[in-house]
Structure 1
Amino acid sequence: MVLGSGREELVTALGALAEGRDLPGVVSGVAGGAGKVGFVFTGQGAQRVGMGRQLYEAFPAFAAAFDEVCAGLDAHLEGSLAAVVRGEGDSSWPGGGRIDETVWAQPALFAVEVALFRLLTSWGVAPQVVAGHSIGELAAAHVAGVWSLEDACAVVAARGRLMQELPQGGAMVAVEAAEERVREILAGRPGVGIAAVNGPRAVVVSGVEDDVLAVAEELAQRGSRTGLLR
């Protein structure tokens, strides 16, 4: 393993490792114990235009898996998922492109996550446990063999389509604060609620956009970091 704060340090450390030289930032040894390998699949919000492009070009295992999953999803979508992931036709689209629309974001993440899983397993890296959040749960269920790719694609596409049909004007904000603190601020604000509690100091609030942003601003003024979810 090599450690470094930038490309130059990492390249230097890799050179030392390849030559068998000792250098700060170079660590070698053999893992021991009975540890297990786990894969965790992310939920919506991690999507971006062009994700997986370099992997697709470099590794046939990734490309084949991505194409297979996209073909399964396209049967339930109005358009080409691969084209959306590549950002084709997004020149006049606001923000990051169509991939930020829930109906596309969820299938796109599912396709990339399954392709990443198959790439890693083609290298002999196999997990003993898998887990996921939101759309990542569906990817984890598929790679664990809970359901076939055909069934998974049908559910993933339907889930994204149903969530896309929610009325416009809502928003979600991730907050670095304890649940109790957030609930105090939400008191008397019927347009905002807690959507998720992801940790002792990791909460997501959702609701009417203006109300959600007002809550986020108040929390920020009290020292909490906040982030609007795409």
Structure 2
Amino acid sequence: FGGTNAHVILEEAVPEPEPASADDARLPSAPSAKGPATVPWLLSARTPEALRGQARRLLALVESEDAPAVQDVAYSLATTRTGFVHRAAVVGGDGEGLIAGLRSVAEGQPDPSVVTGTRSTGRTAFLFSGQGAQRAGMGRDLYAAYPAFAAALDKACQALDTHLEHPLK
């Protein structure tokens, strides 16, 4: 329990057990005491036919003898692939469920673990409320540490400052 002026730690968290072997982390995922973590496998392509082809190629990989870990596939698909117009997200907690959803994408069939759609042309906007509940100067630290964030914020400020009585920065 805790309070504004003091707090008490009653017990430390119990560490989660390590997999018995490296094979336990391969497809299908070995469930933990809490069950396997839910992960998304994200696919995209220029056409619906190409999306089904992507799913077939991924199926061949994840059903192979040396299949990568479920989480490794999710990470690679989310961070190393181009986001084309036609998209599918297969969500599951273990390799078997993800493979079943992936097979549905490959066959062009609906599945409760699959969401398909097309990219919208909308733009993303971020708003920093400035109320400072997390900590004062939080945006300043991001601005100083990450050049991409600084450039994006400068561009946003430049676009908005012409419409404001006072500049944002």
Does TM-score exceed 0.5, indicating one fold?
A: no
Give the structure with the larger helix fraction. Answer: 1
Structure number with bigger Rg: 2
Q: Provide TM-score, normalisation by structure 1.
A: 0.25
TM-score by length of 2: 0.31
